[in-house]
A and B are shown apart, each in its own frame.
Chain A
Amino acid sequence: SAVISQKPSRDICQRGTSLTIQCQVDSQVTMMFWYRQQPGQSLTLIATANQGSEATYESGFVIDKFPISRPNLTFSTLTVSNMSPEDSSIYLCSVVSSGGPDEQFFGPGTRLTVL
Chain B
Amino acid sequence: GENVEQHPSTLSVQEGDSAVIKCTYSDSASNYFPWYKQELGKGPQLIIDIRSNVGEKKDQRIAVTLNKTAKHFSLHITETQPEDSAVYFCAASRGGNTPLVFGKGTRLSVIA
> Which A residues contact B (CB, under 8 angstroms)?
1, 4, 30-31, 33, 41-45, 48, 92, 96, 101-109, 111
B32 to chain A, nearest CB (A): 4
> Which B residues contact A (CB, under 8 angstroms)?
32, 34, 36, 41-46, 49, 51, 89, 93, 95-97, 99-105
Q: Given A42-B104, A43-B89, A43-B102, does the pair A30, B43 have CB atoms closer than 8 Å?
A: no
Contacts of A30 in B (CB 8 A): 97
Q: Are A102 and B96 in contact (CB under 8 A)?
A: yes
Q: Are A106 and B34 in contact (CB under 8 A)?
A: no
A4, A96, A102: the one contacting B49 at CB < 8 Å is A102
Contacts of A48 in B (CB 8 A): 99
Contacts of B32 in A (CB 8 A): 102
B14 to chain A, nearest CB (A): 25
Q: Are A33 and B99 in contact (CB under 8 A)?
A: yes
Q: In chain A, what residue has the closest Cβ to B36? A: A106
Q: In chain B, what residue has the closest Cβ to A47? A: B99
A84 to chain B, nearest CB (A): 24
Q: Are B100 and A104 in contact (CB under 8 A)?
A: yes
Q: How far is the CA of A31 from the CA of B99 in the complex (A)?
A: 9
Q: How far is the CA of A92 from the CA of B95 in the complex (A)?
A: 20
Q: Are A108 and B99 in contact (CB under 8 A)?
A: no
Q: Could you pull out 27 A-B pairs where Cβ atoms are within 8 angstroms? A: A1-B46, A31-B97, A41-B104, A41-B105, A42-B104, A42-B105, A43-B44, A43-B102, A45-B99, A45-B101, A92-B44, A96-B97, A101-B95, A102-B49, A102-B93, A103-B34, A103-B49, A104-B34, A104-B46, A104-B100, A106-B36, A106-B44, A106-B45, A106-B46, A108-B43, A109-B42, A109-B43
